[in-house]
Amino acid sequence: MEGVDYLRDERKKSEFDVEAMKVAWAGSREAFQVSDRMAKLVANDPVFEKFSKPTLGRKEMFKNTLRKAAYAWKLINDLHLTEEEAKWLRHYIDEPNYTDLQWEMFVPALEGQGSEEQKRKWLPLAQTMQIIGTYAQTELAHGSNVQGLETTATFDHETDQFVIHSPTLTSSKWWPGGMAKVATHAIVYARLIIDGHFYGVHGFIVQLRSLEDHSTLPGITVGDIGMKFGHGAYNTMDNGVLRFDRVRIPRNQMLMRVSQVTKEGKYVQSDVPRQLAYGTMVSVRQTIVSDASKALSRAVCIATRYSAIRRQFGSHDGGPETQVIDYKTQQSRLFPLLASAFAFRFVSEWLKSLQTDVKQRLEAKDFSTLPEAHACTAGLKSLTTAATADGIEECRKLCGGHGYLISSGLPELYAYYVPACTYEGENVVMMLQVARFLVKTVSEMSYKQPVGTADYLGRMAPLMHNNCDVQTAEDWLNPSAIVKAFETRAVRMIVDCSQRIAKFENQEEGFAELSTDLVEASLAHCQLIVVSTFIQRLKQEIPGKGVKQSLEVLCYVYALYLLHKHQGDFLATGYLTSKQASLANDQLKTLYSKVRPNAIALVDSFNHTDHYLSSVLGRYDGNVYPKLYEAARKDPLNDSDIADGINQYVQPILKQKLHLAKL
Ligand SMILES: CCCCCCCC/C=C\CCCCCCCCCCCCC/C=C/C(=O)SCCNC(=O)CCNC(=O)[C@H](O)C(C)(C)COP(=O)(O)OP(=O)(O)OC[C@H]1O[C@@H](n2cnc3c(N)ncnc32)[C@H](O)[C@@H]1OP(=O)(O)O
Ligand SMILES: Cc1cc2nc3c(=O)[nH]c(=O)nc-3n(C[C@H](O)[C@H](O)[C@H](O)COP(=O)(O)OP(=O)(O)OC[C@H]3O[C@@H](n4cnc5c(N)ncnc54)[C@H](O)[C@@H]3O)c2cc1C
């Protein structure tokens, strides 16, 4: 039997309706249809071929990406694609490029931070790509500490302009995507100075390049910051360095929704919180959570299909060897990642609805849910990107040696993905933001009832004293037992930190001293959100034979896997006995055997095309070995029998007549 037959057999084992599961994964039938249409459009168009990418040099690779982006823009216009379709199209093209910054950051920054007048002027230009923008916040010396940025924007009364300047080497903007070679404009974050007074960091629209011939404008120095981790992965993007030598822009190019500077040089803070200036980061963090489930599902799909095809050991009578997916150790590493992909998918949907709600409230000048939305987005960004980056690497290992080949699709996926742990808020820094929110919520509880994702803190008294009543492994198959365990662990960790901070004379000092524990408490809080959201999702109607049941199994796998992984927390907080923790682990192993027959069908439900996966190991048809061999044959080193350099550097060594004694 070949891999093709193995996957065919696996698909027959499925206990649920795969087509219905595809809809559940996508969120709705319409969402499925849009993404499916765009996936096929990209996969069937030779312009979007990407197998040659690993062999291209940086310049060729960059040019090739520009070509694809231009063609994609033509398709978007010619086919009158909707915003949603265009987003999926870019997603399936699968090469980071300047349009990510244009659509994910530049346009949202104008929308979220521009005044009505500014939006009227700049948005049509950006939305029709007459200008191309980037988000220039991070500098050589400061990324996380936004208030520490050094670039200055000094108001000049006489000319009614701001003077944008890079006073030091360390104030050079460093990292913004698309900035080195493509962007014509940037939202530049700089310290506002009026009459020698500092008014904090604000965003300014600055033109970098001529719209006539694309040359850099006077006073601007811009370039690429150099190759990044992994060859093909993120090197299609021109992350840039940018310096200003007293560049002048009109006063009306400061983003003026949150605060304004008048013609007279008066600084006016409007009635919206100044944190709204960070709104672009919040919206992109939500997109990043959604991206996490896509990246993880991609890696899991490759590793699962390959694990069903790969056989090692176990043949005693000349019969077939054991499929590696049947090893319990393989299952215990793979299936929690499969469950995590679904968990992240559902939590990202929930986060999107939370953001929509916050947006509507902001329009009505209700800012009450902003701190919670910030904490949720920051925390879930951190949790999902960290787990996804680790998960992709685990999938590479699950594929043994072949996982290390570029043709497996995993090394480049990892290299592309791993900076998500750093950009848009370094993960530890983000968890500390969650901790601030939690500690503050606890300290305000005597006069303010916690709401939303923090509402369980309001039930602190029972949660501090309850004990787990699980007695058998089956008792763990109960959503309320699971939620109670996660709530109790989180509440006890947060309260413990809060009480210890309160003992410090200086609270900031206490916070710093306890920051490692605080990060763990924040993680416990965020895991509770993911687990509860999964459980809530299962309370909704989910059509299709066996779909809900399969998702229930995955939900328990996700929760009990976390419980097992973090059992130290659950035991240390005194909620569980070691016997109950061990029962949870027994149940987890039983659940793995329920996932096993459905594993291939579950990864098929992601509806990933072979083009998108770009993996010989993850091919839908399972024809792995012949295609691995074929891919290897195509390597440029195999173009000729005698490679360049052999005659020059190897032959002379072979032809030396040295005697051992002389060596
Ligand atoms: C084969 C492989 C290839 C595969 C390729 C596949 C490619 C696919 C390609 C395309 C697909 C298309 C779809 C794309 C989707 C992809 C996603 C998009 C990716 C975009 C690309 C990435 C580009 C990256 C950009 C960046 O990184 S931009 C820079 C981001 N920078 C940061 O995030 C900085 C982090 N720092 C901060 O956020 C803050 O400064 C801080 C740490 C929060 C500051 O803290 P603090 O000093 O306390 O701040 P204060 O200003 O004093 O605030 C105090 C107060 O405010 C609260 N606060 C803080 N922030 C917020 C906020 N945002 N909202 C509300 N409130 C906030 C804070 O909690 C305090 O509150 P209290 O006073 O109450 O305590
Ligand atoms: C691929 C990529 C693309 C990017 N694109 C853009 C872009 O388009 N536009 C843009 O403006 N920026 C961009 N960035 C920059 C990115 O946003 C920053 O790198 C990120 O915000 C982290 O900041 P930093 O580099 O200053 O890290 P640092 O803050 O210097 O982090 C270094 C270490 O210090 C720790 N640390 C920092 N502060 C604290 C603290 N208070 N407490 C405890 N530990 C702390 C961190 O946990 C980390 O371990 C990009 C970065 C990458 C890698």
| CA angle (148 as vertex; 142, 151 as ends), nearest 5 | 80
Q: Which of 374, 416, 442, 515 best tests ligand 1's pocket when mutated (most atoms within 8 Å of CB)?
A: 374
Other beta carbons within 10 angstroms of residue 89's beta carbon come to 23
pLDDT computed for residue 232 by the predictor:
82
The whole-angstrom separation of Cα 566 and Cα 338 is: 19
Q: Is 178 in the pocket of ligand 2 (CB under 6 A)?
A: no
pLDDT one-digit tens code per residue, 456-487? 999 998 999 989 999 999 999 999 999 999 99
pLDDT computed for residue 546 by the predictor:
98
Domain parsing of the chain, residue ranges: 115-256
Q: Atom of ligand 2 at shortest distance to CA of 173?
A: 11
Q: Is the ipTM of this complex over 0.85?
A: yes
Is 388 annotated for ligand binding?
Answer: no
Least confident of 17-26, 210-219, 243-252, 279-288: 279-288
Q: Is 143 in the pocket of ligand 2 (CB under 6 A)?
A: yes
Indicate which residue's Cα is closest to atom 38 of ligand 1.
425
Q: Is 161 in the pocket of ligand 2 (CB under 6 A)?
A: no
More confident residue, 317 or 472: 472
On the question of pLDDT at 663 being above 70, the answer is no
- Tokens standing for 456? 């369980």
pLDDT computed for residue 275 by the predictor:
83
Q: Atom of ligand 2 at shortest distance to CA of 136?
A: 11
pLDDT one-digit tens code per residue, 445-456? 999 999 899 999
On the question of pLDDT at 308 being above 80, the answer is yes
- Tokens standing for 602? 């579950």
Of 382, 375, 303, 284, the residue nearest 602 (C-alpha): 303
Q: Is 533 in the pocket of ligand 2 (CB under 6 A)?
A: no
pLDDT computed for residue 273 by the predictor:
84
The whole-angstrom separation of Cα 81 and Cα 102 is: 17
- 648 Cβ neighbours under 8 A, 6+ residues apart: none
For every residue of 358-416, DSSP letters joined together read: HHHHHHTT--TTHHHHHHHHHHHHHHHHHHHHHHHHHHHHHTGGGGGSGGGSHHHHHHH
Is 148 annotated for ligand binding?
Answer: no
pLDDT computed for residue 316 by the predictor:
79
Catalytic residue IDs: 424
Least confident of 155-164, 357-366, 502-511: 357-366
Where does the pLDDT of residue 231 fall: very low under 50, low under 70, confident under 90, or very high at 90 and above? confident
Q: What percent of the chain has pLDDT over 90?
A: 90
Q: Which of 423, 516, 522 best tests ligand 2's pocket when mutated (most atoms within 8 Å of CB)?
A: 423
Q: How far is the CA of 276 from the centre of ligand 2 (A)?
A: 20
Q: How far is the CA of 426 from the centre of ligand 1 (A)?
A: 8
From residue 499, alpha-carbon distances to 424, 425, 516, 641 in Å are 31, 28, 15, 71
pLDDT computed for residue 61 by the predictor:
96
Where does the pLDDT of residue 1 fall: very low under 50, low under 70, confident under 90, or very high at 90 and above? low
pLDDT computed for residue 246 by the predictor:
98
More confident residue, 519 or 272: 519
Where does the pLDDT of residue 47 fall: very low under 50, low under 70, confident under 90, or very high at 90 and above? very high
- Tokens standing for 495? 């309260």
| 115-256: CATH number | 2.40.110.10
Q: Is 101 in the pocket of ligand 2 (CB under 6 A)?
A: yes
pLDDT computed for residue 278 by the predictor:
84
On the question of pLDDT at 662 being above 70, the answer is no
Q: Is 336 in the pocket of ligand 2 (CB under 6 A)?
A: no
Cβ atoms of residues 17 and 547 within 8 Å: yes
The whole-angstrom separation of Cα 408 and Cα 577 is: 43
Q: How far is the CA of 143 from the centre of ligand 1 (A)?
A: 10
Pairing of strands 133-136, 220-224: unpaired
On the question of pLDDT at 117 being above 90, the answer is yes
pLDDT computed for residue 276 by the predictor:
83
pLDDT computed for residue 613 by the predictor:
98
Q: Residues 443-451: contacts with CB within 8 Å, 24+ apart?
A: 443/498, 451/369, 451/372
pLDDT one-digit tens code per residue, 341-395? 999 999 999 999 999 999 888 888 888 889 999 999 999 999 999 999 999 999 9
From residue 88, alpha-carbon distances to 72, 84, 341 in Å are 11, 6, 18
Amino acid identity for residue 277 in this structure:
A
On the question of pLDDT at 119 being above 80, the answer is yes
